[in-house]
Amino acid sequence: MGLNGKDLIVDGWFHERGVLWPGQAMSLKVTKVLDHFQSDFQDILVFESESHGTVLVLDGVIQVSERDEFSYQEMIAHIPLFAHPNPKKVLVIGGGDGGVLREVARHVGVEEIVECEIDEGVIIASKKYLPTLAKGYDDPRVTVQIMDGAKFLADNQDSFDVIITDSSDPVGPASVLFETPFYNSMYKSLREGGIVCTQGECMWLHLDLIKPLMDSIRQTYSSVEYAYTTLPTYPSGQIGFILATKGRTTCKVPERKPDETIQQELKYYTPQLHQAAFVLPAFCQRAIYGT
């Protein structure tokens, strides 16, 4: 069982202390605890913060803050979707808050969106406290499966154009989503030309996890690349994405662009930033690609 979120609130401040970022903590001033309960899978805390709006915390780890969530949701969704010329069928694994669904739903050519989330408690909390994210569930193309994403893929050899894994960190129920067998299952479930985009942790903290995983899946996928985005409330202010393809050489260049109306609605993603997201600092480039 992970950390109890309420225990991390001391003197009115939530301190995000976790085993994956030893010796450092992100702190937010709490104005009100909105909810705190234990689901079948994890500890769920929702609080109102002074600086970042409503915040969702799972097992003591910040998942979403209203102020900066768009950076993560837009980049994890639009990099693979705009790198694909014609995505029709999309799978989201995890993503219980609904924010990734909201972004996928902006693509009018997408015909079917399946979400597989292990914990209905996250969906319920998000619909109640984070309606600007949970509105992703309102799209009629969305269907939801409540189950383990790894099991879903093992049991459903369906075919998708894009698979997005919006998972929590590799501690607790999400550990399985950072293992090679899960990537092998995703590969089998991709159509030719398909793209996988997964939450790829942080280059400042987790290169020892990122590199072996990318090396291992290179044996299966046609291309494996790393991109990143910035956002204040994730550990060290950054989070990365692993982009892996079946029968495609790269995801670095968008095949399509948002039309004027959609671009006006987006707060982070632009076609220029799509390409820039793959340009890595030297230490990270060297560690991941050896060059």
Contacts to ligand SAM by CB under 6 A:
58, 63, 72, 93-97, 116-119, 122, 148-150, 166-168, 173-174, 176-177, 199, 239
Q: How far is the CB of 168 from ligand SAM (least distance, A)?
A: 4
**Known active-site residue 158:** no
Report d(CA 279, CA 287) in Å as an integer.
13
Distant-in-sequence contacts of 262-265, Cβ < 8 A, 24+ apart: 262/106, 265/106
In angstroms, give the least distance from the CB of 247 to ligand SAM: 26
In the complex, least distance from residue 220 CB atom to ligand SAM, rounded to whole angstroms? 20
- Identity of the residue, 174 or 214, whose beta carbon is nearer to ligand SAM in the bound complex: 174
Nearest to 243 by CA among 271, 210, 286: 210
Cα 211 versus chain centre, distance: 18
Nearer to ligand SAM, 229 or 248 (CB): 229
Q: Contact, 286 vs 211, CB < 8 A?
A: no
Contact 74, 241 (CB under 8 A): no
Q: Which is nearer to ligand SAM, 234 or 248 (CB)?
A: 234
Task: Compare residues 55 and 288 and give the one whose CB is closer to ligand SAM.
Answer: 55
Helix/strand/coil for 188: helix
Nearer to ligand SAM, 30 or 58 (CB): 58
DSSP state string for 251-263: SSS-SS---HHHH
Closest alpha carbon to 99 in 56, 151, 156 = 56
CB 7, min distance to ligand SAM, A = 19
| Pairwise CA distance, residues 285 & 291, whole Å | 7
Rounded Cα distance, 165 and 190, in Å: 13
Could you tell me if residue 212 is left (phi over 0), alpha (psi between -120 and 50 degrees) or otherwise beta?
A: alpha
Angle between helices 282-289 and 207-217 (to 10 degrees): 40
Q: Which is nearer to ligand SAM, 100 or 248 (CB)?
A: 100
In the complex, the smallest distance separating the C-beta of residue 172 from ligand SAM, rounded to whole angstroms, is 7
Of the residues 68, 97, 166, 169, which is catalytic? 166
Burial grade of 232 (CB within 10 A; 0-12, 13-18, 19 or more): middle
Give yes or no for a contact between 76 and 227, defined as CB atoms under 8 angstroms apart. no
Using CB positions, name the residue nearest to ligand SAM. Answer: 94
CB of 45 to ligand SAM, least distance (A): 13
Residues classed as catalytic: 166
